[in-house]
Amino acid sequence: MSERYLLLRSYRGALDALEEKTFGDINNFTDQTAEEILQEIKDEIHGQAVEMFEMEKEQLVTKLDGYERNIHELEKKNDISEQEIRSTHSNLDKISNNVATVLSSLIYVLLIFVIAIGTWAQFKSSFLEQSIYLRVGSILLTLILGALSVYSGFNIKNTRFKTKEYIRNNVYNFLTGKR
């Protein structure tokens, strides 16, 4: 059996199209009539296929637009999240810097106080006569600080900045959960 025969036989509108072409009169049936009906069937099938394709295309374009909108919204949320993260890190950096400034200043003042008391105590013999350990400790502290200063260029002010940086890093790591 040929394709054309199967198409004419299986297509529901084939008999209607034949009746319409021949006006119900068998004498109006010619060799061209079958070809014309076949062409009409092919055109109708092609038109239906194009119509289905266009409908599916519209649905896909609509879905694609929705996906693009979702992607755009997610990108905006991601930008906001990144800004919030940067802002939070900036705030944590400020907090850790403030904590480090206060603590390093206290340590610096305490160290200066200890050095001052140790130096004063060396000249006040009655104060250190009571405890040999205080006298020896005071002398050792003065000798160690002097030796460090001569040998490595050690100075107390530089120690304050290093201490501040060390404290700032530890506080920041603690606040961000890295420690």
Q: Is the pLDDT of residue 120 over 80?
A: no
Q: How high is the pLDDT of residue 98?
A: 92
Predicted TM-score (pTM) of this structure:
0.47
CA–CA distance, 175 with 41 (Å, rounded to integer): 76
Q: How high is the pLDDT of residue 10?
A: 60
Q: Tell me which range, 6-10, 41-45, 84-88, 126-130, is most confidently predicted by mean pLDDT.
A: 84-88
Over range 149-164, report the average pLDDT: 74
Q: How high is the pLDDT of residue 147?
A: 76
Q: Is the pLDDT of residue 138 over 80?
A: no
The pLDDT mean for the chain works out to: 77
Q: What pLDDT band is residue 4 in, cutting at 50, 70 and 90?
A: low
* Residue 30 region by backbone torsions, left for phi larger than 0, else alpha for psi between -120 and 50, else beta: beta
